[in-house]
Amino acid sequence: MQDKHLLIVGAGLCGSLLALKLAQHGYKITLVEKRPDLRNADISAGRSINLAFSDRGLKGIKRVGLEDKVKVLCIPMNGRMLHDKNSNTKLSPYSGQDGNYINSISRSGLNALLLDEVEKHDNVHLIFQAACQNVDVESAKAEFINEKTDVNFHVQADYIIGTDGAGSVVRQALMKNRELRFSFSQNFLTHGYKELSILPKNGEHQIYKNALHIWPRGENMLIALPNLDGSFTVTLFLAYEGGDYNFNNLTNPKIVEEYFKKDYPDAHALMPHLKEEFFDNPTAALGTVRCSPWTYKKTLIMGDAAHAIVPFYGQGMNASFEDVAVFDDILNEVDFDLDKAFSEFSQTRKQDADGIADLALDNFHEMKAHTAQELFLQKRQLELAFEKEFPDDYASKYSLVTFNEDIGYHDAKVRGRAQDKVILYLLKEGHLPEHLSLKEKLEIVKTHTNRYLEDEVINV
Amino acid sequence: MQDKHLLIVGAGLCGSLLALKLAQHGYKITLVEKRPDLRNADISAGRSINLAFSDRGLKGIKRVGLEDKVKVLCIPMNGRMLHDKNSNTKLSPYSGQDGNYINSISRSGLNALLLDEVEKHDNVHLIFQAACQNVDVESAKAEFINEKTDVNFHVQADYIIGTDGAGSVVRQALMKNRELRFSFSQNFLTHGYKELSILPKNGEHQIYKNALHIWPRGENMLIALPNLDGSFTVTLFLAYEGGDYNFNNLTNPKIVEEYFKKDYPDAHALMPHLKEEFFDNPTAALGTVRCSPWTYKKTLIMGDAAHAIVPFYGQGMNASFEDVAVFDDILNEVDFDLDKAFSEFSQTRKQDADGIADLALDNFHEMKAHTAQELFLQKRQLELAFEKEFPDDYASKYSLVTFNEDIGYHDAKVRGRAQDKVILYLLKEGHLPEHLSLKEKLEIVKTHTNRYLEDEVINV
């Protein structure tokens, strides 16, 4: 039983899971969220944003014993369903191994479940609609304003953990501290995104339910993830400028229809509300936030507050949930000394956060362009065969990141990038001819990859 | 004669030079500075910070016709005077070409000169001790607070240019604008710096006047630049942690004396006030700020506000003065259309700002470590010989950056880095044997450099 009082700023996915785990350890928790309680808010059915949930996220969920309750919310996606301009489709599995899949899950559904569980603990005080105004990172005191009454109040804790997302106020407090010499970067892609939808027909999914659908178009792309109610949440990733169509020139229904008919004809046929949705829904930016250190004295940041990434690996929530698992491991290792845990977490987790940030940027290019290229398809075929025949001997970059939660993101990045380069090179140069057995091909790939990795070490 | 009203926030070196140039063009200028007028402030003689002033800075100064007045303030430095641990010294010239030198100049002396010249113009309104609180980047309106009276006032201009340094308030206003998707990074070195001094003896410099003195010690270093009054401003660059001595453990006079006696014995002998200065003077951080874009609607940032760099290439002020020259070129090209000029400047200058930021980081490592290494010394010898014998055919990285102001920083970085890599490789592998003529050696270096640069282009 721990007697410290922790203030957690932000009750999104990361903050709620963290509060639950720390409540289970017996800490006194104040969990404060800026927005209204999403369990009471009027959210139109099926229109909530969905997310990809996979093994690293599950690692965090297992820590709090919620795997069975989360499973009910999940729709398995076995691979990418690629749609070409002529409406042909092709399923590209995520892994050659059976039982390796990712899941589509509702953000609000998952968040609601976590909040329900948090509220079962008497040692948690949950406050909604209170925006953090300022944090004293040395004394663990934070000021809030109640958004309904406009009344200010403050919370004096023993420690503060900021899980308040990409625009974190807690992070801004760290940044203002000159003594800390806080390194920080925010970088935006040339592309933004907009959410749209494919509604159910007679309560059923109108396209194949158990896949993440992609319409890769070189510079831009459309994707769709299934919801439990039979709908799909569709996301358009489009450049702000340049090319024939972009967010700056899609300014009237006519040109929007023209673009979708031309580039995404099969999706377009299933989106009768496109014109309305396109202009009703916001266009949002795609940014990466990196910073260091994540802690100072009595304050720590975690999740998107510490490492916001672009969504292209489906790892944002998974990385945040893994943060909670990693932090929990460290807490146990240092015998619940929070000062030591904050410092250790900030130092050891940073490299993996940078790893997934880089990987997510890699995958942006891979998804919108490479998935449709012949050499890339050959590589995928080969890797799937390796994974199927030699499950203990090979995992693709995607599998390393998504299904091998015991390997850190950084190591997954280094090995995964090397494998990608080596296989594409070997295929291009004809060094993996047909007459070789699969086993022989695997040996060649592994030898070249290891040699490449050794060279990298020497070059550093 | 231009009829627009420009508000320039910050009357440091960049803001003062810019105000002067724009006043010469006939614009109405309001120039607002947070600090008191440095011409009236009580600054102890000879203790003001000095800077390295070289050809790119001169390019800006020539634009306003002040080269003769600036020359009076300059002390030429012909090279680096290297001091080893046994107090041996060795002069390493900056260039093999005569007439290529950099200058030590007083920051406050130069700023005072620029302010004097600014005040000669009736179309400039100069306001001191007014801190910018907020900027409306769309309407070109800025709020200030008078630091003596605490009274707020605002300035409504046609355009705003922020030259308010590394902690720019104008940049923060751009950053707050979500529509802009402002990319930003601040990164700190593991090292900080502290200014100390070597006082004059009988009004004379106690060590060789016409050099930039360096005591390279691997991880840390001391440097000294001459002042007109016979003193030197000495700067210690030291890690905050790690190693035997660092800023975190130099906590009492005894250990400071011990460190200086051991690592900088000849300098220590000339610094009787070391103990007092070390604890009286602040320790400051070394940061790099990068951002993009530099403009939005009626607002632009320039100088350190747009690109703060570490001081190791002596190019901070030079880059800012070159900004003014580049902006002036653009203004003339676009026929004084300020909207066009802001946009063009932000787009075209960014690459060179990134270039000098990278180069300055390179030189940190070169100055504290490489300057004392045998292979590096051989490389310098060879490059100096090339520059002397074939002045039209070769310029070292240092010369490209410092003395070739017609080449952009970016190009200087790309070519300079390639040359460095190639020469070090050739020397190490014995590919530049003694029996070759200097001309033959130059041909080998040029061939390899060009091949390396071609490979780089292919690899991108």
Residues A277-296: pLDDT tens digits? 999 999 999 999 999 999 99
pLDDT for the residue A460: 34
> Do the chains contact at A183 and B181, CB–CB below 8 Å?
no
Q: Is the CB of B186 inside 8 Å of chain A's CB atoms?
A: yes
In this structure, what DSSP letter does residue A372 have?
G
Mean pLDDT in residue range A409-413: 96
pLDDT for the residue B459: 41
Q: Which residue of A has its CA nearest to B176?
A: A167
Out of B181, B185, B285, name the one closest to residue A181 (CB): B285
Q: Which residues of chain B neighbour A187 with C-beta distances below 8 Å?
A: 183, 185
Pairing mode of beta strands B159-162, B5-9 = parallel
Query: Angle A353-A355-A360 (CA atoms, 0-180°, nearest 5)?
Result: 95
Confidence of residue A86 (pLDDT cuts 50, 70, 90): very high
In this structure, what DSSP letter does residue A90 have?
E
> Do the chains contact at B285 and A178, CB–CB below 8 Å?
yes
Mean pLDDT in residue range B199-213: 96
Farthest CA pair distance, chain A: 75
| Tens of pLDDT, residues A184-211 | 999 999 999 999 999 999 999 999 999 9
Mean pLDDT in residue range A390-416: 95
Residue A371 pLDDT greater than 80, yes or no: no
Look at residues B161, B128, B129, B124 and name the one whose alpha carbon lies nearest to residue B142: B161
Report residue B42: phi and psi, to 5°.
Answer: -85, 95
> Do the chains contact at B184 and A188, CB–CB below 8 Å?
no
| Tens of pLDDT, residues B337-349 | 999 999 999 999 9
Q: Are B58 and B105 in contact (CB under 8 A)?
A: no
> Do the chains contact at A285 and B184, CB–CB below 8 Å?
no
Structure tokens at B300: 């632009």
Confidence of residue A48 (pLDDT cuts 50, 70, 90): low
Out of A181, A186, A285, name the one closest to residue B184 (CB): A186
Chain B: give the shortest CA distance to residue A84, in Å: 28
Residue A41 pLDDT greater than 80, yes or no: no
| Tens of pLDDT, residues B1-45 | 688 999 999 999 999 999 999 999 999 999 999 999 999 876 544
Query: Is the preceding omega at residue A282 within 30 degrees of 0, hence cis?
Result: no
Confidence of residue A49 (pLDDT cuts 50, 70, 90): confident
Burial class (CB within 10 angstroms; exposed 0-12, middle 13-18, buried 19+) of B151: exposed
Q: Are A63 and A41 in contact (CB under 8 A)?
A: no
Task: Give chain A's domains with CATH numbers.
Answer: 5-76+105-186+286-364 (3.50.50.60), 190-285 (3.30.9.40), 373-459 (no CATH)
On average, the pLDDT of chain B sits at 94
Mean pLDDT check: name the lowest of A47-61, A124-138, A342-356, B238-252: A47-61
Cα–Cα distance measured from residue B409 to residue B359, given in angstroms and rounded to the nearest whole number: 8
Mean pLDDT in residue range A300-324: 97
Look at residues B51, B70, B52 and name the one whose alpha carbon lies nearest to residue B61: B70
Cα–Cα distance measured from residue A398 to residue A316, given in angstroms and rounded to the nearest whole number: 15
Number of C-alpha atoms within 13 angstroms, CB side, residue A319?
33
Residue A438 pLDDT greater than 70, yes or no: yes
| Tens of pLDDT, residues A99-111 | 899 999 999 999 9
Place of tokens 């000294």: B224
Confidence of residue A350 (pLDDT cuts 50, 70, 90): very high
pLDDT for the residue B370: 66
> Do the chains contact at B186 and A188, CB–CB below 8 Å?
no
Cα–Cα distance measured from residue B21 to residue B321, given in angstroms and rounded to the nearest whole number: 11
On average, the pLDDT of chain A sits at 94
The amino acid at residue B263 is D
Cα–Cα distance measured from residue B131 to residue A205, given in angstroms and rounded to the nearest whole number: 60
3-state secondary structure A93-147: ECCCCCCCCEEEEEHHHHHHHHHHHHHCCCCEEEECCEEEEEEECCCCEEEEEEC
Q: Enumerate residues 285 to 304 of chain B having a beta carbon within 8 A of any beta carbon in chain A.
A: 285, 287
Which own/partner pairs from B137-144 qualify as long-range (CB within 8 Å, at least 24 positions apart)?
Answer: B137/B170, B137/B173, B137/B174, B137/B177, B137/B296, B137/B297, B137/B298, B137/B299, B138/B296, B138/B297, B138/B298, B139/B298, B140/B7, B140/B297, B140/B298, B140/B299, B142/B7, B142/B9, B142/B32, B142/B170, B144/B32
Task: Enumerate helices (H) and strands (E) in chain B, giving the number of each.
Answer: 14, 19
Look at residues A161, A188, A186, A158 and name the one whose alpha carbon lies nearest to residue A174: A161
Report the DSSP beta bridge partners of residue A6.
A29, A159
Q: Which residues of chain B neighbour A183 with C-beta distances below 8 Å?
A: 185-188
DSSP B351-401: HHHHHHHHHHHHHHHHHHTGGGSHHHHHHHHHHHHHHHH-TTT---HHHHH
Q: Is the CB of A425 inside 8 Å of chain B's CB atoms?
A: no
First to last CA, chain B: 46
Report the DSSP beta bridge partners of residue A194.
A236
Cα–Cα distance measured from residue B417 to residue B97, given in angstroms and rounded to the nearest whole number: 20
Q: What percent of chain A stands above pLDDT 70?
A: 97
| Tens of pLDDT, residues B102-161 | 999 999 999 999 999 999 999 999 999 999 999 999 899 999 999 999 999 999 999 999
> In this predicted model, which residue has the larger pLDDT, A455 or B405?
B405
Report residue A314: phi and psi, to 5°.
Answer: 60, 35
Residues 6+ apart with CB under 8 A from A269: none
Structure tokens at A142: 């934070």
Q: What percent of chain B stands above pLDDT 70?
A: 97
Is the confidence metric ipTM above 0.90 for this complex? no
pLDDT for the residue B367: 76
3-class secondary structure, B45? coil
Cα–Cα distance measured from residue A304 to residue A169, given in angstroms and rounded to the nearest whole number: 12
Query: Angle B155-B156-B161 (CA atoms, 0-180°, nearest 5)?
Result: 80
Structure tokens at A245: 């169509």
Q: Is the CB of B181 inside 8 Å of chain A's CB atoms?
A: yes
Task: Provide the sign of the torsion angle of the four alpha carbons B323, B329, B334, B335, taken in this order.
Answer: positive
Mean pLDDT in residue range A114-121: 98
Q: Which residues of chain B neighbour A181 with C-beta distances below 8 Å?
A: 188, 240, 285, 287
Residues 6+ apart with CB under 8 A from A278: A194, A196, A250, A253, A256
Residue B46 pLDDT greater than 80, yes or no: no
> Do the chains contact at A285 and B178, CB–CB below 8 Å?
yes
Mean pLDDT in residue range A135-158: 96
Report residue B353: phi and psi, to 5°.
Answer: -65, -40
| Tens of pLDDT, residues B61-75 | 999 999 999 999 999
Q: Where are the alpha helices (DSSP H) in A264-403?
A: 265-269, 274-280, 316-333, 338-368, 374-389, 397-402
Chain B: give the shortest CA distance to residue A13, in Å: 24
Residue B47 pLDDT greater than 90, yes or no: no
3-class secondary structure, A89? strand
Burial class (CB within 10 angstroms; exposed 0-12, middle 13-18, buried 19+) of A297: middle
Report the DSSP beta bridge partners of residue A77.
A102
> Do the chains contact at B184 and A182, CB–CB below 8 Å?
no
Chain B: give the shortest CA distance to residue A288, in Å: 9
Q: What is the dihedral of CA B358, B363, B366, B367, to 10 degrees?
A: -160
Q: Which residue of A has its CA nearest to B190?
A: A181
Cα–Cα distance measured from residue A252 to residue A249, given in angstroms and rounded to the nearest whole number: 8
The H or E element that residue B417 is part of is helix B409-428
Residue to mutate among A175, A177, A185, with most B CBs inside 10 A, is A185
Out of B181, B185, B287, name the one closest to residue A285 (CB): B181
Confidence of residue B48 (pLDDT cuts 50, 70, 90): low
Structure tokens at B403: 């003395």
Residue B99 pLDDT greater than 90, yes or no: no
DSSP B299-315: EEE-GGGT----GGGS-
| Tens of pLDDT, residues B412-428 | 999 999 999 999 999 99
